[in-house]
Structure 1
């Protein structure tokens, strides 16, 4: 099989730990060819987000059209969308990519706490984009925002939230449980007739900048390479776990440092 072509639709992080930059490094590290549509430019580092410049929606659609007219796309990852207008533009643009797996990471707030999705965009995300997603990958605070409910705080809460999120129309939901306490980080993958818990050892580190972007990009890169979604998610989680374990080899910034995207290629 030819090397998979993976398209990431997301914002830019000049510090390289999250967003488009993290996605492209992750896609390459997972054996695929990365392409990008940029939805927003940010001024940020490991300490926080200083400014956001949203790309005009017409140009977002132009970027998507340029790819669609020329290049085979095997999977799509969607990250930061900033506002309702961009959500709607991306949803419209996906019409040119029929039957292609879509991994949707509903980025609402950065690791440092900066708002990356305007509150009024939540309804557009739920109405127009989530039903187009093959996999929805929220963390627990994002699940609370999407559901208009308290943040899940237990395993039972996660099961209830994952079922409620699935009813919004995506093909499956990977609810990330990293915000819970405990020796293990537990994620829950649910689809119409399956429920699987994926556990990994919790690593004591502050190098967590961009972990959500990295995981969703890795899933997109693994979907064309694996026999099932569960296998793709498992391979992606193994990659991210290794990237966190080896993040201490980096010396990037003074806040929440990035994971080591190239750990498996060194």
Structure 2
């Protein structure tokens, strides 16, 4: 017996609201063991990004290959990469160890919550060309989807659907575009997969701004994919098919969205920073609350 295993390939963020810190907390909250490969160091506070320090591509690849060769991974989540060198290194490692990495979820992080770029223009172009064809699930927000496609920001659900389909055509089996930038009481996310298109609605959580919701969402999806893969291997769910198939994706994404919504709502009273304003974290500890 063993727990489901997930590898996160992402930036290390100082305040713990996003990056590998948020990924690992999400994995733990959802009962999944997490391993990590660091792509860059980001110096971040609630007020914004103070600095970004990408690691050399060979060091990034060495980490990924070491974990892939050592651990029995059920899924992999890829987050902020920072540079074209890191993108190429991760893509090379994925091609070399594809069967060992499980289902791959890519959160194509482009900018920080304060608008600071978290990847170079060359890196973004490399990500679109080299990584999109290799992943199973892509989870951009509206701005990231537009940048990957070289299009204006979508202004309607129909335009989000069109962009999701265009991204799916580049390789990912499933594409989830989060629609939080659209006006309205509800947040509408668009999920496209081989079986069609689903609109996932949820009431917008009012209150203070948070950071790391997208990170947590993609990590939760990877965790759910890993749990299904492990259950399938153990025979506990019977014949459920391959992890990440169309029949499972709507349920997987819906479950991940529920976790993020609860984590966001339950962080509204948190005041971790010494100053007012800025972006706070979501509450990854909600599943550990015994009260």
* Match in the other structure for 1:98: 99
Select 2:282's aligned residue among 218, 237, 259.
259
Query: Where do residues 188-203 of structure 1 align in structure 2 (5 Å cutoff)?
Result: 188-203=190-205
Q: Is the 8 A contact 2:57 2:86 kept in 1?
A: yes
Larger displacement relative to structure 2 (4-13 or 120-129):
120-129
The 4+ residue runs of structure 1 with deviation greater than 2 A are 224-227
Q: Which runs of 5+ in 1 are unaligned?
A: none
1:22 and 1:179 mapped to 2: Cα distance?
22
1:252 and 1:138 mapped to 2: Cα distance?
28
2:271 and 2:29 mapped to 1: Cα distance?
20
Select 2:170's aligned residue among 159, 168, 173.
168
2:163 and 2:224 mapped to 1: Cα distance?
25
Report the TM-score, using the length of structure 2 for normalisation. 0.88
* Match in the other structure for 1:56: 56
Q: CA RMSD in A?
A: 1.3
Query: Where do residues 243-258 of structure 1 align in structure 2 (5 Å cutoff)?
Result: 243-253=263-273, 254=276, 255-258=278-281
* Match in the other structure for 1:43: 43
Larger displacement relative to structure 2 (244-253 or 172-181):
244-253
Q: Secondary structure at the match of 2:280?
A: coil
1:249 and 1:24 mapped to 2: Cα distance?
23
Q: Is the 8 A contact 1:247 1:259 kept in 2?
A: yes
* Structure 1 residue 207, shift from structure 2 partner: 3.4
Larger displacement relative to structure 2 (205-214 or 32-41):
205-214
1:36 and 1:249 mapped to 2: Cα distance?
30
How many residues get paired? 266
* Structure 1 residue 133, shift from structure 2 partner: 0.7
* Structure 1 residue 264, shift from structure 2 partner: 2.0
1:184 and 1:248 mapped to 2: Cα distance?
18
